[in-house]
């Protein structure tokens, strides 16, 4: 591989965002505002900026956060884009959905949850991310994309029914330099960051952090993609000076978690499950080949109007909450297994959220932002929700791209989008959702339409380029 032949340029960085002890953690109602005692592992942000020869670009910014609301995502995209010269619309702000992160970063989760946003913490987050982005232009270097897909069925699964739908695939985009070394990667998998339970009071990125550490370490000295050793010798190429950043994107994880596959809720189990995902990504990468020829990069944004659900009468909502509280207490008394007790408890929590929604009311529709990113014939569709696996799998099946990944928790947060079976069964996520199953179909159709529009645009651009060459 020769630098002159490289179709893309990449710059990547990781930044430590770990706050001090004494601040509230977000993610579990049962924590009841308890504060962090310290950090077990770092909360980080990973930035991967990719550009093509025609000015097309995408900047993935992945944060160890429960979620990133639309206001904060917009502020981050503007600040980061201005700092490095990337178009703000090309900056995709994604949350890993760890439940052991900072409550103060999050705003407006819903009527049942107390407002936790801390303006100073949010402002500091934006500043630190912009500072990290400012160095990226000096780090841009030629690269080739390598796309791979592995499978990690033992690392996560459907959290309501072990036999239910779950996308066990692991997507990986590696950016490779002329010496065959990996400069940076973008990895996605669908599973809640909930190996650790509400009893944990230490900052932690949960299993996504363990996956990043494991994969980055494995890639640090890898030169598996050196097509010509003579080229390596000529450049004097060596392993990267630092372990390559790994940006983690959380998939369609609305009904996916480690609930039925975790052995316990320890930090050792965090490392084990993160290692399973890292191993699947690494193994798939070793069997892949770098892309060749012209590769275009593009990001397109739009929004979709989604109707909200029909809410029950207040009396019915209260009756249902009392009934489910009784079911949960009975499960505790009966000593059922931990996963089933957790399901009973979350069903009760969902009924409390529904009762709060009934009291607060819902607008008839909500406007949800979405974005599609493409690198050649690969695409990532980014949605601001916790999407159920059945919808994510449908999007992938209907996508016009040869390789498609479905990502949630991006550029905003609007809660769960559950399918018809979940609403029928009254599971926590469906009960707590602002949308019914038809809302999920509306969102799915809009995601597919955005992917089709982007694919058509890229094909048209490629045809024009070929015509220009032929002239």
pLDDT for 461 equals 78
Please, which pLDDT band fits residue 262 given cuts at 50, 70 and 90?
very high
The three-state secondary structure class of 110 is coil
pTM: 0.93
Please name the residues in contact with 420: beta carbons below 8 A apart, sequence gap of 6 or more.
Answer: 437
- Residue-wise pLDDT for 40-75, tens only, equals 999 999 999 999 999 999 999 999 999 999 999 999
Residue 207 to residue 262: CA distance in whole angstroms: 11
180-184, 388-392, 416-420, range with the lowest pLDDT: 180-184
Bridging pattern class, strands 157-158 and 256-257: antiparallel
Residue for token pair 């090309």: 90
* pLDDT value at 182 more than 90: yes
- Residue-wise pLDDT for 286-343, tens only, equals 999 887 678 999 999 999 999 999 999 999 999 998 998 888 899 888 887 888 888 9
54: left (phi over 0), alpha (psi -120 to 50) or beta: alpha
Residue 120 CB burial class (10 angstroms; 0-12, 13-18, ≥19):
exposed
- Structure tokens that stand for 99 in this block: 């439940």
Task: Measure Cα distances from 455 to 178, 303, 410, 436, 450 in Å.
Answer: 29, 18, 21, 29, 9
Residue 254 CB burial class (10 angstroms; 0-12, 13-18, ≥19):
buried
229: left (phi over 0), alpha (psi -120 to 50) or beta: alpha
Residue 295 to residue 306: CA distance in whole angstroms: 34
Residues in the chain: 471
60-69, 86-95, 240-249, range with the lowest pLDDT: 240-249
70 in Cβ contact with 384 (< 8 Å)? yes
- Structure tokens that stand for 339 in this block: 């996963």
Residue 396 to residue 404: CA distance in whole angstroms: 6
Please, which pLDDT band fits residue 464 given cuts at 50, 70 and 90?
low
Average pLDDT of the chain to the nearest whole number? 92
Residue 63 CB burial class (10 angstroms; 0-12, 13-18, ≥19):
buried
* pLDDT value at 39 more than 80: yes
The three-state secondary structure class of 68 is coil
- Residue-wise pLDDT for 221-231, tens only, equals 777 676 433 34
Please, which pLDDT band fits residue 232 given cuts at 50, 70 and 90?
very low
Farthest CA pair distance, the chain: 79
180 in Cβ contact with 146 (< 8 Å)? no
Look at residues 398, 39, 312, 316 and name the one whose alpha carbon lies nearest to residue 200.
Answer: 39
* pLDDT value at 433 more than 80: yes
Task: Measure Cα distances from 84 to 77, 88, 137, 140, 214 in Å.
Answer: 11, 10, 6, 11, 29
């Amino acid at each position: 591989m020769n630098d002159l032949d490289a179709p893309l340029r990449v710059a990547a960085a990781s930044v430590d965002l770990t706050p001090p002890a004494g601040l509230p953690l977000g993610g579990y109602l049962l924590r009841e505002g308890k504060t962090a005692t310290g950090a077990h592992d770092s909360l980080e942000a990973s930035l991967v900026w990719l550009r093509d020869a025609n000015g097309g670009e995408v900047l993935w910014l992945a944060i160890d956060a429960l979620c990133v609301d639309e206001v904060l995502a917009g502020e981050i995209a503007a600040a980061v884009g201005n700092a490095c010269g990337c178009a703000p619309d090309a900056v995709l702000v994604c949350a890993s959905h760890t439940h052991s992160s900072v409550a103060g970063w999050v705003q407006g989760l819903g009527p049942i949850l107390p407002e936790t946003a801390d303006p100073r913490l949010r402002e500091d987050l934006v500043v630190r991310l912009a500072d990290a982005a400012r160095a990226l232009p000096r780090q841009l270097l030629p690269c080739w994309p390598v796309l791979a897909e592995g499978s990690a069925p033992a690392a996560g699964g459907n959290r309501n029914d072990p036999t239910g739908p779950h996308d066990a695939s692991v997507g990986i985009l590696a950016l490779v330099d002329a010496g065959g070394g990996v400069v940076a990667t973008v990895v996605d998998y669908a599973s809640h960051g909930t190996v650790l339970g509400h009893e944990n009071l230490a900052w932690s990125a949960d299993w996504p952090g363990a996956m990043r550490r494991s994969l980055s370490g494995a890639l640090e000295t890898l030169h598996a993609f050196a097509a010509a050793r003579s080229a390596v010798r000529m450049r004097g190429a060596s392993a990267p000076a630092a372990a390559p950043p790994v940006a983690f994107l959380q998939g369609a994880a609305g009904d996916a978690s480690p609930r039925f596959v975790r052995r316990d809720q320890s930090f050792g189990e965090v490392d084990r499950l993160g290692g399973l995902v890292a191993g699947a990504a690494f193994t798939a990468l070793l069997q892949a080949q770098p892309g060749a020829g012209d590769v275009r990069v593009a990001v397109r944004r739009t929004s979709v109007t989604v109707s909200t659900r029909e809410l029950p009468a207040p009396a019915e909502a209260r009756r249902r909450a009392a009934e489910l509280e009784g079911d949960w207490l009975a499960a505790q008394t009966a000593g059922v297994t931990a996963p089933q007790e957790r399901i009973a408890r979350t069903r009760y929590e969902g009924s409390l959220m529904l009762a709060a929604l009934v009291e607060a009311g819902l607008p008839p529709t909500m406007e949800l932002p979405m974005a599609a990113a493409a690198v050649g014939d690969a695409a990532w569709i980014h949605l601001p929700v916790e999407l159920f696996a059945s919808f994510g799998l449908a999007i992938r099946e209907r996508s016009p791209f040869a390789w498609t990944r479905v990502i949630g928790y991006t550029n905003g947060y609007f809660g769960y989008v559950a399918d018809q079976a979940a609403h029928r069964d009254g599971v926590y996520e469906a009960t707590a959702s602002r949308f019914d199953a038809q809302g999920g179909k509306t969102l799915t159709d809009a995601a597919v339409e955005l992917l089709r529009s982007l694919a058509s645009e890229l094909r048209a651009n490629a045809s024009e380029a070929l015509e220009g060459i032929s002239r």
